[in-house]
């Protein structure tokens, strides 16, 4: 049995190593950072297909074959105070993104109807701003969540940026919020390469408040911003540590006007 990559399978083929790691996870075990990095560094197409096959087997085992669909409502667009280099909605860049304030009830309820007609189980309120504090805007957000919940057609989710106080997270939970989207985006090391107006720690703190409130966490990242394979591996372990319930893996869409506009898709740096 493989215990470390320098252990009994040191002379094994990549296929045997991938299989041993897959078997271990299938039976409830874990893999180390060193082992994960071995997987992240695979390049031969035969190895990638072995990896995909195992990923599929693990998904079927742990998550079954049911696909859950969710949709979002852009509840406040553009003019965001943050400087995330991948984002069309940052006020730092000229992108032609629409700009409007927080939405009224009607468009949200219409989105819930449409989602329901299309078999979508959750509608998320997504706002382009730094985050949510106590005050009138929190009251308004909670009203939208309650309205969605009362409609009974979809599950209310949200992605509303940084939360600095436990009270805010508790209010969202009381209003009926079940799941909050808050990506870590990249590794701790790489984070300042794409955002300097808030920190990786700000994002972790937000997730701690939400988890304390009993809200599920949807958190992943973006690949293709110029990070290394080690950064991707570190992000995966951070997501494991926070216990993310859902992990979205986004691929950078290089938006004209943003600093990443010239990134090739899936741009990767050598470590
Ligand atoms: S905080 Fe969100 S909306 Fe604002 S620039 Fe960053 S990613 Fe875009």
Between 73-82, 92-101, 259-268, the lowest mean confidence (pLDDT) is in 259-268
CA 267/CA 271 separation, integer angstroms: 13
d(CA 268, CA 132): 33
What's this model's pTM, rounded to 2 decimal places? 0.88
**Band of residue 66 on the pLDDT scale cut at 50, 70, 90:** confident
Would you say residue 178 has pLDDT above 90? Answer: yes
Could you give the C-alpha distances from 192 to 58, 232, 252, in angstroms and in order? Answer: 33, 15, 17
CA of 213 to the centre of ligand 1 (A): 23
Taking the CA of residue 199 as centre, how many other CA atoms within 13 Å lie in the half-sphere pointing to its CB?
5
Task: pLDDT band for 264, please (50, 70, 90 cuts).
Answer: confident
Per-residue model confidence (pLDDT) at position 39: 95
Q: Is any ligand 1 atom within 6 A of the Cβ of residue 77?
A: no
Name the token pair of 206: 């937000």
Ligand 1 atom with minimal separation from the 162 CA: 1
Nearest 5°: CA angle at 88, between 263 and 261? Answer: 20
Contact 241, 211 (CB under 8 A): no
Q: What is the mean pLDDT of residues 165-169?
A: 97
pLDDT at residue 234 above 70?
A: yes
Residues 224 and 183 sit within 8 Å (Cβ to Cβ):
no
Residue nearest to atom 8 of ligand 1 (CA): 87
d(CA 197, CA 187): 16
Contacts of 192 (CB under 8 A, 6+ apart): 199
| Ligand 1 atom 5: residue of nearest CA | 90
For ligand 1, is residue 82 a contact (CB within 6 Å)?
Answer: yes
Nearest-atom number in ligand 1 for the CA of 88 is 8
SS (H, E, C) 157-224: EEECCEECCHHHHHHHHHHCCCEEECCCECCCCCHHHCCCCCCHHHHHHHHHHHHHHCCEEECCEEEC
- pLDDT tens digits, 140-159: 999 999 998 888 888 999 99
- Which of the four pLDDT bands, split at 50, 70 and 90, describes residue 3? very low
Which residue, judged by its Cα, is nearest atom 6 of ligand 1? 84
Instruction: Give me the domains of the chain, ranges plus CATH numbers.
Output: 2-63 (no CATH), 70-251 (3.20.20.70)
What value does the mean pLDDT take over residues 17-23?
Answer: 95
Q: Is the CB of 84 under 6 A from ligand 1?
A: yes
Measured from the CB, is residue 210 less than 6 Å from ligand 1?
no
pLDDT of 130-141, one tens digit each?
999 999 999 999
CA of 31 to the centre of ligand 1 (A): 33
Rounded-to-integer distance, Cα 35 and Cα 51, Å:
13
Residue with the two structure tokens 């937000």: 206
Neighbours of 6 (CB within 10 A): 8
């Amino acid at each position: 049995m493989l215990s470390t990559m320098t252990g009994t399978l040191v002379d094994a083929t990549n296929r045997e190593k991938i299989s041993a790691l897959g078997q271990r996870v299938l039976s409830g075990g874990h893999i180390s950072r060193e082992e994960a990095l071995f997987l992240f560094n695979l390049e031969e197409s035969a190895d990638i297909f072995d990896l995909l096959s195992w990923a599929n087997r693990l998904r079927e085992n742990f998550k079954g074959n049911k696909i859950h669909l969710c949709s979002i409502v852009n509840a406040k667009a553009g003019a965001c105070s943050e400087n995330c280099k991948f984002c069309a909605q940052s006020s730092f860049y000229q992108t032609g993104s629409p700009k409007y304030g927080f939405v009224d009830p009607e468009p949200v309820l219409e989105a819930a109807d449409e989602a329901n007609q299309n078999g979508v189980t959750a509608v998320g309120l997504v706002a382009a701003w730094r985050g949510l504090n106590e005050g009138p805007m929190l009251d308004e957000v909670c009203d939208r969540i309650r309205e969605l919940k009362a409609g009974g057609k979809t599950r209310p989710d949200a992605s509303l940026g940084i939360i600095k106080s436990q009270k805010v997270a508790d209010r969202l939970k009381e209003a009926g919020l079940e799941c909050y989207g808050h990506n870590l985006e990249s590794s701790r090391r790489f984070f300042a390469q794409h955002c300097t107006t808030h920190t990786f720690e700000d994002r972790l703190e937000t997730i701690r408040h939400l988890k304390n409130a009993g809200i599920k966490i949807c958190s992943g990242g973006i690949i293709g911003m110029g990070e290394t394979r080690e950064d991707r591996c570190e992000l995966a372990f951070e997501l494991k540590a926070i216990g993310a319930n859902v992990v979205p893996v986004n691929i950078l869409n290089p938006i004209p006007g943003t600093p990443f506009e010239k990134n090739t898709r899936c741009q990767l740096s050598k470590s």
